[in-house]
Chains A and B, each alone.
Chain A
Amino acid sequence: MQLQLQNIVPIPLKDKLLQRDSGVWNKNLQFEQGEFIKIKAPSGVGKTTFIHIIYKLRKDFEGNVVWNKKSLSLVNADELALLRQQHISIIFQDLRLFPNLTARENIELKRVLQQPLYESRMIDNMAEQLGIASVLHQKASVCSYGEQQRIAILRSLMQPFDWLIMDEPFSHLDKNNIDKAAALIEAECKKRNAGFILTDLEDDEHFKYTGFLNL
């Protein structure tokens, strides 16, 4: 599945953004499935805004986001749900777990929301790899932020997808855990022949990026 960005500019940040040169805002860009895209930016220039725009959580922007040749503005609620169940998975910067569900239930939700891709023991497998097997039975609200981040990563890998969207996914992980998570993410993307878009503050070498943009 292809992603095209056609001159997108968030309206609230318009004046500020058009004064500086950006590799993304107000540009025509095209990403092919399987690309590993890194978008780097300092705080406050709209990384999360960008992620929310391409995931259709925000509509206050100019330009067009085109998934698979269809403008996101034309996608209705049912099609959007299908897109999010089958084609686009996401790791939010603010994680967005259900605090009252256990870690396992949070992950399980994404597994059973559509025809399951993996059997449920895959949750234990992956949790083992990321070192969170012991907290699976805990409520998400009592897990540490680092654990929650790994739960969110695991959740995003439970579903089928063509694109994985990650908004500072490793912000609360140490080097060791980042390496494990990155390895798992890369393996899962390769398995699906999927690509990803990752935003972060700094340069890194967690993945072999095929594209690099400054926001």
Chain B
Amino acid sequence: MLNTILKKLIRTSGRNRNTMAVVGLFIGLLLILAAVQIQANYQQILYSKTSQDSIADFLVVNKTLTDKNIGVATLSTAEINDLKQQPFVEKIGTLTPSRFRVSVQSISKQIPFYSDFFFESVPDEFLDVNTPAWQWNETSNFIPMIIPNMFLDMYNFGFAQSQHLPQLSQNLITSLPVQINIQTPTGTVNYYGKVVGFSDRISSVLVPQPFMDWANKKFGTDVNQQPSRVIIQTKDASGSGLADYFAKHHLSTSAQKTRFEKYRGVITTVVAISWVMGGLMFLFALIVLTLFIQLAIASAKEEIYLLITLGTAPKQLQSFLRKQFLPANIITVVVALAVIAALQFILQKVLAAQNIFISRYISYYAIIAAAIILLLINLVNNRAIKKYISYNN
């Protein structure tokens, strides 16, 4: 009842200014929350196992070949363990080479070819190809393979043209089964193989790890060979710690393709701009809100004076005013969060079409950020209310 009367005396709805403050607040909030969400998505892509376009740095590491270590350039278990301990290494996986002779030939008369070949395999989590076809067991009809994009480019734009051979698209290659001949001590064994993906990360012909383990065991000639290449995931491929370590231990690496470096730059810039703009908008909105509160109190100065004369406690007035501003603040924050959630939902769909996988829902960080911002707005509001009410007393 008291609030009903106070509402008549202290008008907090000077519509235009209030709308301006709320709109400013909303835009600022939107930008800040978008920055948080983009950052969260970015982190997710950076460290996810499922995205084709994972933009973390993956480096394939091997010993630097010199005249002296030709033929024995393998990495010992101790060396791998030492590498695992390094701060720049997030994850490490070994590339398993095939220990049997293998050749590939076309079964199509239109595009005949034959080549001696080799296979390697890596744990799936290091792959940048995500397809359901990437699996193998002993009952499988064909062996899935992943070949480097670079390989195809070399063929299409170099080899094919000079030899008057047809150029091959990715689609054509994946629909083209090949015959794989594995030579064993007792003769040749034939399998069907199929290219199921193209990698930008690992420049080798990859087969699934289960097939490799099975085939090495069944057809392998050398026993328990040490790996000569490992793949590492690192946060910062350009860090000096990594370079120093590699130089000291005579290791070398194929530099990760820089295809995503420019994306990283763009994302970082977008996030930074979003942060700065959002922060500035938010700051202005806070100032406008504070001015609005000051104005509302100043324009009801006489009423407030009389209310206090009649015995209204400053605390009663403050709590009344807080209640007047709180709902608008909560609604603004919730709506901003809802808009971000909707955008995230749409973005997820758009990116999934390009084989980039992010969460369908907004991250906890965005929600936490919204809560902190709400708290901050109220803190500023309450301070303004307290300041101008006790000033009036």
Contacts and interface: CB of A to CB of B under 8 A. Distances in A.
B1 A81 contact: no
A74 interface: no
A113 to B, nearest CB: 6
A114 B312 CA distance: 9
Interface stretch (B39-47, B177-185, B303-311, B327-335): B303-311
Contacts of A110: 310-311
Contacts of B5: 101, 105, 108-109, 112
A174 B306 CA distance: 28
Contacts of A78: 313-315
A84 interface: yes
Interface residues of A, number: 20
A14 B46 CA distance: 81
Contacts of B314: 77-78, 81
B259 interface: no
A139 to B, nearest CB: 11
Nearest to B308: A81
A113 B8 contact: no
B390 interface: yes
A84 B311 contact: yes
Interface string A97-118: 0101100010011101110000
B1 A77 contact: no
B310 A109 contact: yes
A85 interface: yes
Given A96-B306, A100-B9, A101-B8, A108 B311 contact: no
Interface residues of B, number: 18
Contacts of B306: 96, 98
B393 A96 contact: no
Interface string B266-305: 0000000000000000000000000000000000000100
A8 to B, nearest CB: 20
A11 interface: no
Contact of A113 (B2, B303, B390): B2
B8 A84 contact: no
Nearest to A89: B311
Interface in A73-96: 77-78, 81-85, 96
A183 B311 CA distance: 25
A57 B9 contact: no
Given A100-B9, A108-B1, A112-B2, A81 B303 contact: no
B145 to A, nearest CB: 80
Contacts of A105: 5, 8
A81 B307 CA distance: 10
Contacts of A112: 1-2, 5
A77 B311 contact: no
B309 A113 contact: no
A82 B316 CA distance: 11
B312 A98 contact: no
A100 B306 CA distance: 13
A114 B314 CA distance: 13
A103 to B, nearest CB: 13
Nearest to A102: B8
A114 B310 CA distance: 11
Nearest to A106: B5
B9 to A, nearest CB: 6
Nearest to A82: B313
A78 B318 CA distance: 12
Nearest to A111: B1
A56 to B, nearest CB: 10
Nearest to A109: B5
Contacts of B303: 98
A100 B310 contact: no
A-B CB proximity, top 4 nearest: A84-B311, A81-B313, A85-B311, A112-B1
14 contacts: A57-B309, A77-B314, A78-B315, A82-B313, A96-B309, A96-B310, A100-B8, A105-B8, A110-B310, A112-B2, A112-B5, A113-B310, A113-B311, A159-B311
Given A96-B310, A100-B8, 7 more contacts: A77-B308, A78-B313, A81-B311, A101-B9, A108-B1, A113-B311, A113-B316
